[in-house]
Amino acid sequence: MHFGDTRVSLADVDPRDVTGMLRATGSTDPDVLFAAKTEYGRTFKIQKMVGLSAMIMGVCSVLMIVLAIVGIPVIAFGFWCWRKGSRNLAGLEATYSTYAATVTPVTAASRPITVLT
């Protein structure tokens, strides 16, 4: 899995995919998990920006009366894409918070004490 992928994906986020991606890090460190979540969510942030850009282009097209027939579907696609990106980010956040709550990092206080004699 390549976390630096900046392509726009129209796929929905699946909680199993997010959990698998977080497990694939092999770490329980909250900073590592947060970094992995941020990299995984980059695609959905780009998806929201594409939707916002399409809505802006659609509004500009509608303002020119001649291009209104093209602008209205572009606005609809932009709204759909922006909403899908928002839902994907919300699902990613929910799954991340659930996973982060179940995984507790091993700290020095929780390690067993070994006595050398």
pLDDT value at residue 1: 40
The structure tokens listed for 47 are 């998806």
Q: Rounded to an integer, what distance in angstroms lies between the CA atom of residue 15 and that of residue 106?
A: 25
The per-residue pLDDT for range 90-107, each reduced to its tens digit, is 999 999 999 988 886 655
Closest among 117, 43, 116 to 81, alpha carbons compared: 43
Global pTM value: 0.75
Q: What are the extents of the domains in the chain?
A: 15-102
CA separation, residue 47 to residues 27, 62, 77, 87 (Å): 28, 22, 12, 11
In one letter, which amino acid is 111? R
The per-residue pLDDT for range 12-52, each reduced to its tens digit, is 888 898 899 889 988 888 888 899 999 888 888 888 999 99
Give the Cβ contact number of residue 105 at 10 Å. Answer: 12
